[in-house]
Structure 1
Amino acid sequence: MNIYIAYHFVVNPLQPATDILTAELGYAGFESFVENEDGVSAYIQKQDWHEHILEDVEILTSENYSINYTIEEIEQQNWNREWETNFHPIVVDDKCTVRAPFHEKPDTQFDLIIEPKMSFGTGHHETTHMMIQHLLKNDLKGKVVLDMGCGTAVLAILAEKLGAKKVDAIDIDNWCYLNSLENTERNNCTKISVFEGDASLLGEQFYDVIIANINRNILLDDMATYVSCLNPNGMVFLSGFYREDIPAITEKTEELGLSLVDTLEKNKWVALKLKN
């Protein structure tokens, strides 16, 4: 059974400290986050945790913010109690609802039922919210789509509901892989294939649309692989990084022949649409 270490941070003032803290924790190896009215809870598998995990989280030593935390261990079976307390339905652009199975069916065009457990991607985080916005604005009918770092598979599920004919959803984390399988079945998806692994799985696959909501460093490392799998006139949607990371991301994408088409921003997080 997977055991997670949970850090519960109380942050004052909340912004922009909570967003900065979340980004730095992501770089440190934390993989799941739940924001609340006091700050944020961050989760990492116990096997990946070490006692010096917070040493490089610079905001914790900043004089501009007060940040305190407590630590606890959480077993996989206890996660439902944690997220049911914090997970409320969200509606994106009055078109798409992301909800849990125990929430009432909404009156929106797209209804995504997600049981996130320890996986990232409920739609509450700015990056997932913006990626949903991007997908809602674009024509995916008949497209072959890759959701890289799929988390809960929420974006893959939306892609199928938007008319994609084939969707590959990939995540390196076993929990995300299993959770994505559950969520695709829960949403009666028939065109999504879920795989456990990283960009090395892509091989000779080709896609019309590539979605990657991961983090800056992984995106930079794997961008060439993504582009090598992109069909002509393909679309790439990227998120998981801040406004100040845009120059580094676009420098890399321009080298690989991608052009920036559209940018969304929410609380300093950004989501880019690019084309080749």
Structure 2
Amino acid sequence: MNYIELQVTVSPEFSDILMAELAELGYESFVETEEGLNAYVLESDFDASALADLVTKYERQTAIAYQFSTLEKQNWNEEWERNYQPIEVAGLVRVRASFHKPDERYAYDMLINPKMSFGTGHHETTAMMLEHQLAIDHTGKTVLDVGSGTGILAIMAIKRGAAKALAFDIEEWAVENARENAELNHCPQIEVFQGTIADVDPTNRYDVVLANINRNVLLAEIPLYANLLHTGGTLLVSGFYEHDSPDIEQKAIEAGLTISGKQIRNQWASLRFTK
């Protein structure tokens, strides 16, 4: 079976939501590019009309253009591997796929096969979350990973010495992918379930809560995250733009948290709070 490669030219702020929308249309893998993103779908699942409708939906909000072509089956893995390159974080973390060779120069070797999930480390928000994790003590800690995607943050927590991590995502395919990646990284301490924050036992408490989602979800749920933290615990959040940071920070302060760290990268932001 052949694949369709879709090349989308769009501003970075729309890449994430377009990946989510395209995933609903059956697209299996994504690669962020300087121009926007590339997405891949089985030729049998490709719907040109649905794609055109999706583009029409967003062209009212941003400049967007696209083109697509067919990839022969024998070239699919080669194309994916050519576009999906390892990334490095703070000189200590290397995120790679299973077809990349390990590099012993890095303290943390993260093996992430993303499939349809988001969170390979290539996006600024994920990279900043990983860098924040390098600065906090995970040893023996309990961790909650909210909207876990590939499971990369929960895996990093275990590699940093956390005793156990509970991760969840609303999407079934993301849950399956996170479980596969946890197994690839030899992290049996990670439990992954399909659901939302409402499905987390409110009587449980965690030392670290990780939430790389989006502005609106964070504003709605930060008080819940704060309630789930032990006193002295850490909340790490990202998935929003720098100009949204004051609103996020204010919501956290109202929930009894204190800001203890901040990162900005290409207009994206990541904040660290302590309870």
The alignment's TM-score, normalised by the length of structure 1, stands at: 0.82
Q: Secondary structure at the match of 2:181?
A: helix
Are the structure 2 counterparts of residues 5 and 134 from structure 1 closer, same or farther at C-alpha, using a change threshold of 3 Å? farther
Which aligned pairs between 1:59-98 and structure 2 lie closer than 5 A? 59-61=61-63, 67-70=64-67, 83-98=80-95
What runs of 5+ residues in structure 1 fail to find an aligned partner?
Answer: 12-16, 62-66
1:195 to 193, 204, 217: 193
Are the structure 2 counterparts of residues 219 and 7 from structure 1 closer, same or farther at C-alpha, using a change threshold of 3 Å? farther
Are the structure 2 counterparts of residues 72 and 252 from structure 1 closer, same or farther at C-alpha, using a change threshold of 3 Å? farther
Contact persistence 1:250–1:260 (CA under 8 A): yes
Q: Secondary structure at the match of 1:60?
A: coil
Q: Who is 1:34 aligned against? A: 31
Task: State whether structure 2 residue 136 is matched by structure 1 residue 138.
Answer: yes
What runs of 5+ residues in structure 2 fail to find an aligned partner?
Answer: 24-28
Q: Secondary structure at the match of 1:101?
A: coil
The separation in 2 between residues aligned to 1:95 and 1:167, in whole angstroms, is: 21
Contact persistence 1:25–1:57 (CA under 8 A): no
For residues 127-164 of structure 1, the C-alpha deviation after alignment (integer angstroms, 9 at most, x for no partner) is 01100100011111111101111111111111001010
Shift of 1:200: 1.0
Task: State whether structure 2 residue 175 is matched by structure 1 residue 177.
Answer: yes
The separation in 1 between residues aligned to 2:240 and 2:158, in whole angstroms, is: 25
The separation in 1 between residues aligned to 2:118 and 2:174, in whole angstroms, is: 8
Shift of 1:83: 3.8
Q: Who is 1:227 aligned against? A: 226
Are the structure 2 counterparts of residues 25 and 101 from structure 1 closer, same or farther at C-alpha, using a change threshold of 3 Å? closer
The separation in 1 between residues aligned to 2:159 and 2:37, in whole angstroms, is: 31
| AA of the residue aligned to 2:211 | A
For residues 192-241 of structure 1, the C-alpha deviation after alignment (integer angstroms, 9 at most, x for no partner) is 11111111111222101000001111111222221111111110000000
Q: Who is 2:26 aligned against? A: none
The separation in 2 between residues aligned to 1:163 and 1:149, in whole angstroms, is: 21
Give the aligned length: 257
Which aligned pairs between 1:1-276 and structure 2 lie closer than 5 A? 8-11=7-10, 17=11, 19-22=12-15, 25=18, 29=21, 33-41=30-38, 52-54=53-55, 55-56=57-58, 58-61=60-63, 67-70=64-67, 83-106=80-103, 107-203=105-201, 204-276=203-275
Give the percent of matched residue pairs that are identical in Structure 1 and Structure 2.
Answer: 42
Shift of 1:120: 0.3
| AA of the residue aligned to 1:198 | T
Shift of 1:22: 2.2
Contact persistence 1:202–1:229 (CA under 8 A): no
Aligned CA RMSD, in angstroms, stands at: 2.9
The alignment's TM-score, normalised by the length of structure 2, stands at: 0.83
